Chains A and B, each alone.
Chain A
Amino acid sequence: MKLSEIIKKLDLVVLNAANEDEDIKSAYASDLLSDVMGNAEAEELWITMQTHKNVAAIASLKDIPAVVLINNGKPDVDMLEHANLENVAVLVTNLACYEFCAKLYNLINCEL
């Protein structure tokens, strides 16, 4: 499913627009950046509550097109700057991690 469609259907707020035509097949939820470095796959959506600028750096390193901040997360100012430089979309949901993951899972897997 295209990132733009996920944004629309799950009411995500776009703080940094990028990669909206990217086809998203899966996602990885984790707040430990070392874990994301080791276990997330390229082209996955990354769901987290970390708001540090290293999120943008790790996303770029792993070819992750977009990051979703749960619980209405507010990114640190320099995280948004880095995301912009690294071409990583920064999206925000007011849902908690469990609910967002469930909705996203249903959305992606119903389409398949």
Chain B
Amino acid sequence: MNFVLNCIILLIVNYKADLHIHTVLSPCGDLSMSPSEIIKKAVEKNIDIIGITDHNSSLNAEVTHNIGKKNGVYVMLGVEVNTREEVHSICFMPDMTSLNDFQDFLDSKQTFFPNSPDKFGDQFIVDENENIIGEIEHLLINSLDLSINELADRVAQMNGIFIPAHVDRPRYSISSQLGIVPDNLNFNVMELSPFAQNNDFLEKFPWFKNYNYITNSDAHFITDIGKSYNCLQLEHLCFDEIKTALKFAILNFPKL
């Protein structure tokens, strides 16, 4: 009996996950944030699962996924979407086909305001060897012509994961833009920023208490990767198990 129990326990493994990381595609992402450098840092910090979430674009997700695969880092294919209310949410898709379809959907809701790299930063698409292979011309940090509820429903329809981002922050968050969590919002968990451990968010917004949370770094600089992370307990390292495990995540904030 003990032997059987031991076997069951051994099957469950703890994984460290930081699911909110920007690359050089985000205008605010540092130029050191190439897919290969991000994976190198994740390996160094023993982060097993990362999420690539550039603003309104997922075009550096696949390349990071491929480099991650060779180096033992599971890369979630995602994007951080800015909706009409100027609320940020991170969204993940189960595979590349879905991600491409999702990107087409997002592109149909974009407003084409040109980027000025000297004011906002560069928006580079890169390959595995850090070569720049493209640049997005319209400013990616703008809001889409899409409501947060419509976005959440679309992600759910596509079997993705929907996470309202950094809800404790005074800008671009559900709490700042919408005050309260919209009813019927189709989300998996909500995200706290690394600042949440000492900004008294849940004391100031007590109506946010009864939700499940994860915490991520929202890294724009290479040293921020893994600053905040979660422990997820999985039997198999795959999208669907991660999706389920997010609700039971153990949150790790930076050491004060």
Contact = CB atoms under 8 A, between A and B. Distances in A.
A32 B176 contact: yes
Contact of B179 (A51, A54, A76): A54
Contacts of B179: 33-34, 36-37, 54, 57-58
Interface residues of A, number: 16
Contacts of B176: 32-35
Nearest to B176: A34
A76 to B, nearest CB: 5
B84 to A, nearest CB: 7
Contacts, number: 43
A54 to B, nearest CB: 4
B98 interface: no
A78 interface: yes
A5 to B, nearest CB: 30
A52 interface: yes
Interface in A6-60: 31-37, 50-54, 57-58
A31 B176 CA distance: 9
A88 to B, nearest CB: 15
Contacts of A36: 179
A54 B185 CA distance: 11
Chain B interface residue bracket vs A: 10 to 19
Residue from the set A33, A50, A52, A57 with the largest chain B CB neighbour count within 10 Å? A52
Nearest to B178: A54
B149 interface: yes
A78 B170 CA distance: 25
A39 to B, nearest CB: 12
Contacts of A58: 179-180
B139 to A, nearest CB: 19
B177 A34 contact: yes
B142 interface: no
A11 to B, nearest CB: 25
A34 B175 contact: yes
B182 A54 contact: yes
Residue from the set A32, A35, A53, A54 with the largest chain B CB neighbour count within 10 Å? A54
Nearest to B85: A52
Given A32-B177, A51-B147, A53-B182, 18 more contacts: A32-B176, A33-B176, A33-B177, A33-B178, A33-B179, A33-B180, A34-B170, A35-B176, A37-B179, A50-B85, A50-B177, A51-B84, A52-B84, A52-B85, A54-B180, A54-B182, A58-B179, A78-B149
